[in-house]
Structure 1
Amino acid sequence: MVEVVLSNNNVTFSLVCILAIALIWKAFKWVWLTPKMLERRLIKQGFRGHSYRILFGDTKDIAQMVKRTTSKPMECFSNDFIPRIFPFHHQIMKTYGERSFLWNGPTPIVSITKPEEIREIMMKIYDFPKTATPLMKRLTNGLVRLEGHKWARERKLLNPAFHMDKIKHMVPAFHASCNEMIQEWEKMTSETGSSEVEMWSYLHNLSADAISRAAFGSSFEQGRRVFELLREHTSITVQAMHSVYIPGSRFLPTTTNKREEKIINEMESLLKGMIQRRQKAMDDGEVAKDDLLGLLLKSNLEGTQEHQHDGNNMQQHFKMGMEEIIEECKMFYIAGQDTTSSLLVWTLVLLSKHQSWQDQARKEILTTFGHHTPHVDGLNQLKTVNMILHEVLRLYTPVFSLNRKVIHETRVGDMVLPAGIQIHLPSIFIHHSEKLWGSDAKEFNPNRFSQGLLKATIGGNMCFFAFGWGPRICIGSNFAMMEAKMALAMILQRFYLELSPSYAHAPTIGCGTLRPQFGAKLILHRI
């Protein structure tokens, strides 16, 4: 009997030892063997970077440099702000050239800066999926986060809602939101004719209000509440991203986690209620509304009916469920709000700095609309305004870089990228390249777009990636541009803008977009 017990104990001990050795070996591979193997393969192909430092890589240096460069505003107004927002990347590329890499912990990140290679990677969406952290997935698991077949299916269902012929029906929603903001500004300037305004907060709220109206129509007041909750949820997520992430920590009963759960429950309850009411109305024969939610539900229904017509029994694979529709509603806010507010705030800042372009834009707007409400046809004919917006998107790209992961060894150009590395596509570096855009690449010059995107660069090499490229190009680009044109037209019809003496130029990275770190104080003068 004793021998049997001892034998069992020996077996158990042996299994524990084997498991421990396996875990140690796996950890050793993760923190040392695999990184060193990937480093050797990259160096063999001509890539250069810092030698791998166990576990942390370059992450501490990156954080310290960003903290230092963003501790105060820029000394003077300049569009050459890359060393401020990407100091480590800038230094690495300056030291080692275009073929360089850095370390995100034990993972090497290769920077790709040739436009033709960036386009190739963006076209191969199944070879190079997006990188998504567990923290970001907590905000939304909508289209911007999906991959593979599920992404293709939902993109197909969402596309109709973002066609130009549908977006034109949302222009009254953009006008209503802009009008509320401008009426407030007119009250502020009623006595003296001018007033200093912190633009970022107003434009941030404008974008949220416009999304609420365009997405939910008559239910936009509830949409505003969804935005408030999502903004708080985003703040919690950003704070978590700035601390060490511990797997499973979100399940701990902390005050923050409890508040986050409460936010999610209220937000999803509001969205679910709006969706169910719309679905019931459509089931009762009511025509789908022309807001984003109505168009999404209509497209979802038509996709299902078309599938039934094809005689295929796997209907569930073509119809979005309640949870998926809720995630796409969140995506409307996250993908659209910060992008548009970033575009608008930098447009107003640059027009305040470059008065001649502000005058040209206003002249075109007044020639087209007078002091009447801007309309879709006129907005589409604003050539100067369009040039200005494209130049702002080039210099102050809202989504300044994209990251992809390599899931299997893949050739791009003359490179063979090994599985396990990540790819950094720094569109802001491309947009500021003198080799591609000319010696004035860092200057505000909308004239470069006078003959369209293709002829804006040297040699006609397409390298404008403000909305991405390829199959995953931003689905809401037309939406963002139409909203921006409406807002700019209405503002310049009524106000003349100049930089406030207290304006501090400090582009920075926040919630995934480029924004003014210390706000954007401009002086509004009534016309």
Structure 2
Amino acid sequence: MEAELAVAAKMVVLSVLVCGLLFLVSYLCELLLLRPKSIRSKLEKQGIRGPRPTFLLGNLPEQKRLQSKQQGQSIATRTDDDDDDDDHAAYFSHQWYLKIFPHIEQWRNEYGPIFLCSSAHIQQLVITDMEVVKEISLCKSLVLGNPSVTSKVLGSLLGEGILASNGSMWEHQRKIIAPELYLDKVKGMMNLVVDSTTTMLRTWENEVQRQGELAEIRVDDHLRNLSADVISKACFHSNYHQGKEIFSKIRKLQEVLGKGLMGIEALTRWFPTTENIKIWMLEKETQSLILKVVKQRSEGSYEKDLLQMLLEGAKSSGDLNGLSYNKFIVDNCKTIFFAGHETTALVASWSLLLLALHPDWQARARAEVLEICGDKPLDADMLRQMKVLTMVIQEVLRLYPPVLFVAREVFETIKFKNITIPKGTLLQIPIPFLHQNPDLWGSDAHKFNPERFTNGIVKASKSPQAYMPFGAGSRICVGQHLAMIELKVFLSIILSKFCFSLSSAYQHSPAYNIILEPEYGIILQMRRASP
């Protein structure tokens, strides 16, 4: 009897294992074969084409091959239509995106402004057709959302914060975070931004004095620290020195994650590789540091800053969509720490580079700042009057946008411009290809020309939706007002105190590291501006 029961038990266990294996095989077959094939078939029947995918890896091998082919090719080369031999700027091409994303350029030329490609099993519809881009930008439906793959590939950096969440969770987070970054509240942060900038510039002044009237400074590192200081004080009532460990961990996370973001390496994120172990350790350490700050808050009395609003919002919410209280706080803090300072610092760095390359615009912007400010303390009304500086920043954001893609996942079948897009498709709008499209911006689309923004963004191109440095639609960056205030303060004070030119040590190599950054930093020659 016991032997029969033992045999029966083994049979039950074997049956469960077999059923589990069959379920797993069925799931993988659906995920990796049937679903991608169905999406491709529906789109191809509507005339949308693209490169043929390989089994499991999709078009990643071909993408990698095209990128490798571009490696080592300099983008600091003279363009054919530049006639001014003395113009240092003529030797710099702003078409860096052709080197980073050669596959998009090749496939767009071969298959048209809307084409289909695969990143492993994920079917991507790459869109550079302006009419479709406009419809997507104006769509407010929750049918379009942040790609679910974002929280998987960048989960250690963004978790399920506002940049990676969807549905009611995203709406709840936006209601908590967005009001703290409205323009009226951001204006109240002016003095804080001015004080932090002034403190940084004392370091530059000392360096100029030490090196003898002219100093070589890697400005992007200094601006990262400055922006981190501002976001810490503005949103968390601490300073950079107290929060530098968190910023350091997040920066390291960004660097490690960015290495494999566009390649086959992204498919191995679950395996205990050396890089993944490093990511998991950094994620754990970052979480511990943030929770330490939260614990300090719970034991004391603090002003109602962004962190305090997050804490209260998490407590008052009856539904965090399965997230624990701690994870809700940690994920949004990481998002704010990363998105709130890294992007602003890089735009400021690119702005100084382009002003160094174009001394005429540097002189115009400086003259405007000195005329408006004089010896008076900088205030929000002065920033509003700085038309030339605003135009410069807008043009820098056009040529060097920090975020390079608007990506949306289709959660239910939807229609744009007579194209029925099936559920599960990932929509991808490559921002640089729109920002430098001559059909939208004119024959000088690849050149630095702030004059195009003389009458504002609406009239700068043939379609206002072609300009999206802060994203598009209802999911546009909640921190854009703070970013613009910071950029104007940083640049106006720097211009009032320094003249600068490009160092011969600078190598022009914009790189995609989740966001757009200078691979070798931005090195400028700084000297005190004449009174």
Q: Is the alpha carbon distance of 1:50 and 1:483 closer, same or farther for their aligned partners in structure 2, counting shifts above 3 Å? A: same
**Residue number among 160, 169, 180 corresponding to 2:179 in the alignment:** 160
**Residue number among 390, 404, 424 corresponding to 1:400 in the alignment:** 404
Mapped to 2, the partners of 1:188 and 1:24 lie a distance apart of 63
Residue pair 1:271, 1:326 contacting (<8 A) in 2 also = no
Q: Cα distance, 1:238 vs. partner?
A: 3.9
The Cα RMSD (Å) is 3.1
Corresponding residue of 1:310: none
Secondary structure (helix, strand or coil) at the match of 2:50 reads: coil
Secondary structure (helix, strand or coil) at the match of 1:139 reads: helix
Mapped to 2, the partners of 1:294 and 1:13 lie a distance apart of 53
Matched residue count: 506
Corresponding residue of 1:114: 129
1:126-175 CA-to-partner distances (Å, cap 9, x unmatched) read 11211214241222332222211121122112222111111122122212
Secondary structure (helix, strand or coil) at the match of 1:342 reads: helix
Q: Is the alpha carbon distance of 1:50 and 1:6 closer, same or farther for their aligned partners in structure 2, counting shifts above 3 Å? A: same
Corresponding residue of 2:162: 143
**Residue number among 119, 127, 141 corresponding to 2:143 in the alignment:** 127
Q: Cα distance, 1:192 vs. partner?
A: 2.2
State, as a whole percentage, how many aligned pairs show the same letter. Answer: 29
Question: After superposition, where does 1:134-213 map in structure 2 within 5 Å?
Answer: 134-140=152-158, 141-190=160-209, 191-213=211-233
Q: Is the alpha carbon distance of 1:438 and 1:235 closer, same or farther for their aligned partners in structure 2, counting shifts above 3 Å? A: closer
Residue identity matched to 2:301: A
**Residue number among 243, 246, 271 corresponding to 1:226 in the alignment:** 246
Q: Is the alpha carbon distance of 1:230 and 1:107 closer, same or farther for their aligned partners in structure 2, counting shifts above 3 Å? A: closer
**1:31 matched to 2:52:** no
Corresponding residue of 1:293: 307
Question: After superposition, where does 1:305-384 map in structure 2 within 5 Å?
Answer: 321=325, 323-384=327-388
Mapped to 1, the partners of 2:15 and 2:237 lie a distance apart of 66
**1:507 matched to 2:510:** yes
Residue pair 2:125, 2:426 contacting (<8 A) in 1 also = yes
- TM-score (structure 2 length as normaliser): 0.86
Mapped to 1, the partners of 2:503 and 2:118 lie a distance apart of 41
Corresponding residue of 1:438: 442
Query: Any unmatched runs of 5+ in structure 2?
Result: 78-91
Corresponding residue of 1:307: none
Corresponding residue of 1:309: none
**Residue number among 260, 268, 279 corresponding to 2:282 in the alignment:** 260
Secondary structure (helix, strand or coil) at the match of 1:193 reads: coil
Mapped to 2, the partners of 1:521 and 1:253 lie a distance apart of 30
Mapped to 1, the partners of 2:29 and 2:318 lie a distance apart of 46
Residue pair 1:300, 1:320 contacting (<8 A) in 2 also = no
Mapped to 2, the partners of 1:454 and 1:332 lie a distance apart of 29
Query: Any unmatched runs of 5+ in structure 1?
Result: 283-287, 305-313
Q: Is the alpha carbon distance of 1:121 and 1:462 closer, same or farther for their aligned partners in structure 2, counting shifts above 3 Å? A: closer
Residue pair 1:107, 1:421 contacting (<8 A) in 2 also = yes
Mapped to 1, the partners of 2:217 and 2:156 lie a distance apart of 34
Mapped to 2, the partners of 1:256 and 1:247 lie a distance apart of 11
Secondary structure (helix, strand or coil) at the match of 2:124 reads: strand
**Residue number among 59, 79, 90 corresponding to 2:105 in the alignment:** 90
Secondary structure (helix, strand or coil) at the match of 1:100 reads: strand
Q: Cα distance, 1:397 vs. partner?
A: 1.0
Residue pair 1:409, 1:418 contacting (<8 A) in 2 also = yes
Corresponding residue of 2:116: 101
Residue identity matched to 1:369: C
Q: Cα distance, 1:14 vs. partner?
A: 5.9
Mapped to 1, the partners of 2:439 and 2:260 lie a distance apart of 39
1:319-351 CA-to-partner distances (Å, cap 9, x unmatched) read 995543343332221112121012111111111
Secondary structure (helix, strand or coil) at the match of 1:145 reads: coil
Corresponding residue of 2:63: 62
Residue pair 2:197, 2:493 contacting (<8 A) in 1 also = yes
